[in-house]
Amino acid sequence: MHHKHQMLDHDMAHMHHASSDGDMMIHGGHMMHMGNLKQKFWISLIATVPILALSPFMGLHLPFQMTFIGSDWVVLILATFLFFYGGAPFLKGAQGELTAKNPAMMTLIAMGISVSYLYSLYAFVANHFLNPQGHVMDFFWELATLIVIMLLGHWIEMNAVMSAGSALEKMAALLPSQAQVVDADGRQHAVDLKALQTGQTVIVVAGEKVPADGLILTGQSQVNESLVTGESKAVAKIEGDQVIGGTINGNGTLTVKVTGTGENGYLAQVMKLIQQAQQEKSKVETLADRVAKYLFYAALIVGIMAFISWFFLADLNTAFERMVTVFIIACPHALGLAIPLVVARSTAIAATNGLLIQNRQAIEMADKVTMVLMDKTGTLTQGVFKVNAVQVNATTLDKRRLMQIFGALERHSSHPLATGILADNREQALPELQAENVQTMQGVGLVGTIDGRNYQVVTAAYLQAHHLDFDRKMFQTLAEKGNSISYLLQDQTVLGLVAQGDQLKPEAPLFIQALKKRNIQPVMLTGDNQQVAQKVAAQLGGMEVQANLKPEDKAAIIKDYQANGEVVLMVGDGVNDAPSLTRADIGVAIGAGTDVAIDAADVILVKSNPNDIMNFLNLSRSTNRKMTQNLWWGAGYNIIAIPLAGGLFAGLGIVLGPAVGAVLMSLSTIVVAINAMTLKLKRNE
């Protein structure tokens, strides 16, 4: 299966701005801007400090608090500003949730801050104008801290999920500041990278950074792509190959035609993917929303019941106070930090372990995975092929000519089999032939024209499907030795074959055994022949094998598994696996930097180590456990606190005072923070 590596263009200038400031879809469909959120937090925090110093805490005067003539007016003015400025995202978010008839986190927060503000406003009027001799407790302290902590929680979460984007943004710094452009008359001159245009020709000498995405016109070299793809091995590049801006040219001088500049090249595309992923809403967040919804309805019901009960048992003021206490306690400060702190910690751990999680929904789904399907070449094996045998059938050809024809066609492919043939041709110092109109046959090979004659590179499965004659015994012998075999056709006649061998990745057997220990079924999906696939499976300790597959076959197999209730994680090396990575519940790309990793994967492993998949599964399990724990710590105590705050057990002499409620909220916030920080990754080694 051969694929050209295609580079897609996007506007990097726009992306740089978008990923720097960042937008994030929060609850209720309200788009919160990262820059605005950060600004809102700091300004709200500044406004909160004097409120904390001048107003009582749930009726209690703390040692650091003070008052002076007019101080309560200062508190009122600052709290009003804080409610309308800092609370705006939550009020708008609640409006979106209520419009959708789905009250959740934003509605709960909006209820807490609205009730705090409106009741405190009533308390201010009552204390100053209606009954100056009495005292109605206000909740300005709680209003301020609730807004600030909720803003902090959303900022932490957005900052965490954008950290990967910030890391990729640094990739832009890999680009040189200038490029050596060749004019039409052959003269060279340096231009700023910003002035570089698509279609221009640049010279890249040995040791220099490639200034932009492009196509090699002349020259050959070993290019270090590790800073972009994470792959440590230098990649051989020859005429017709594509290069990525930011990679480092090795030992040769290249003349490159620019296909994508710094503003619309590969790096910009990766950034765009990150930004899109940041707007995904994970199912765990939906769980947090569901908890918030239950709290909202519970508080509403208990609060109204408390108001009615205390109105008849005591007076209007007591009834209001009980109801307001219920509404405020129902929106615990810790709930705003429960998920964001875990996400921040999990994202940091993932980044330091080479895991780029682009769809956070994958974290929650990973704990339910029952099957891991994986491509063979480049995932379980090194993907570095070596020519082991060449067989010529036609009397008009010799081995050198056969390999030249193979090379002319394979030069237009980035498949590992193509790399092996081209490397062998270079070792043999074979003169290059030029092929025209070369096209990829999905899941089969290549077709093209050389010296006016049409040739095809195909698999044994293609020959069998078209009932073409070939030496099956030879195929059997070579395949049983673990070779992948390519055939050359001309006018439906087999001219010869090339057999190439691959090596297992040393980490692969441990990975397969670890999956089995977790009762996850490993399945190999490969376009290679059955004999090679079975041999590899045996070396890995045994696993289910599906061979001779085209890309669409893999996607169909995944669909069948899913129809049977399986939760499927698909692992691919970024070549030919786009349909199946998209179809799977979780798509994991091994080896960042390929077009499929950019287009289809939920998770990218920066290092091409299959063991990192187990690390991802382990991290997912730990993250989900911490999120569930934090939701209980952040909101679970309300099962007891809400009825007590409403005074529903007052007949037994048990009433939760506002001060006790405040202490419980503070303790749960501390526990949530400590619990999130204890999240760790158990590595699979």
Place of tokens 């950060």: 38
Look up 183 and say whether it is catalytic: no
Cβ burial 398-407 (10 Å sphere, 16+ → b, else e): eeebbbbbbb
pLDDT band at residue 19 using 50, 70 and 90 as cut-offs:
very low
Largest Cα span, the chain: 114
State the pLDDT at residue 28.
42
Q: Report whether 608 contacts 356 (CB < 8 A).
A: no
CB burial string 585-595: b at 16+ within 10 A, e below: bbbbbbbbbbb
Give the residue-averaged pLDDT of 238-260: 84
Contact by Cβ (8 Å): 525, 549: yes
Q: Regarding predicted confidence, which is higher, 168 or 400? A: 400
pLDDT tens-place string over residues 58-73: 555 556 566 778 888 9
At residue 186, the pLDDT reads: 80
The amino acid at residue 523 is V
Three-state secondary structure of 369-407: CCEEEEECCCCCECCCCEEEEEEECCCCCCHHHHHHHHH
Q: Note the pTM of the prediction, 2 decimals.
A: 0.60
Rounded to whole angstroms, the Cα distance separating 117 from 140 reads 7
Distance of CA 562 to the CA centre of its chain: 22
Give the separation between CA 487 and CA 495, rounded to whole angstroms: 8
Report d(CA 107, CA 398) in Å as an integer.
Answer: 77
pLDDT (tens digit per residue) in 553-607: 888 899 899 999 999 999 876 545 666 777 888 988 876 444 444 556 788 777 7
pLDDT for 234 = 65
What pLDDT shows up at residue 390?
Answer: 93
| 512 and 373 Cβ atoms separated by less than 8 Å | no
Domains of the chain: 23-161+280-346+623-677 (no CATH), 175-265 (2.70.150.10), 355-381+504-606 (3.40.50.1000), 386-501 (3.40.1110.10)
Beta carbons within 10 angstroms of residue 441's beta carbon: 16
- Cβ proximity of 406 and 557 under 8 Å: no
Whether the per-residue pLDDT at 249 is higher than 60: the answer is yes
In whole angstroms, give the CA distance from residue 676 to residue 338.
8
* Rounded percentage of the chain residues whose pLDDT exceeds 90: 21
Q: How confident is the model at residue 30 (pLDDT cuts 50, 70, 90)?
A: very low
Q: Which tokens go with 292?
A: 């918030």
Catalytic position from the list 241, 375, 424, 528: 375
Residue 74: how many other CB atoms lie within 10 Å: 16
Most confident among 4-8, 11-15, 441-445 (mean pLDDT): 441-445
CA distance 665 to 648: 20
pLDDT score of 597: 46
- Taken in order 209, 213, 219, 220, is the CA torsion positive or negative? positive
203 — pLDDT class (breaks 50, 70, 90): very high
186: left (phi over 0), alpha (psi -120 to 50) or beta: left
User: Letter for the amino acid at 583?
Assistant: R
Q: Is the pLDDT of residue 267 over 60?
A: no
* pLDDT digit string, tens, across residues 523-553: 998 887 888 888 889 889 889 999 888 767 8
455-477 as b/e, with b when 16 or more CB fall inside 10 Å? bbbbbbbbbeeeeeebeeeebee
Residue bearing the bigger pLDDT, 665 or 235? 235
pLDDT of residue 373: 94
DSSP, residue by residue, 231-252: --S-EEE-TT-EE-TT-EE-SS
Best-predicted range by mean pLDDT (32-41, 87-96, 346-355): 87-96
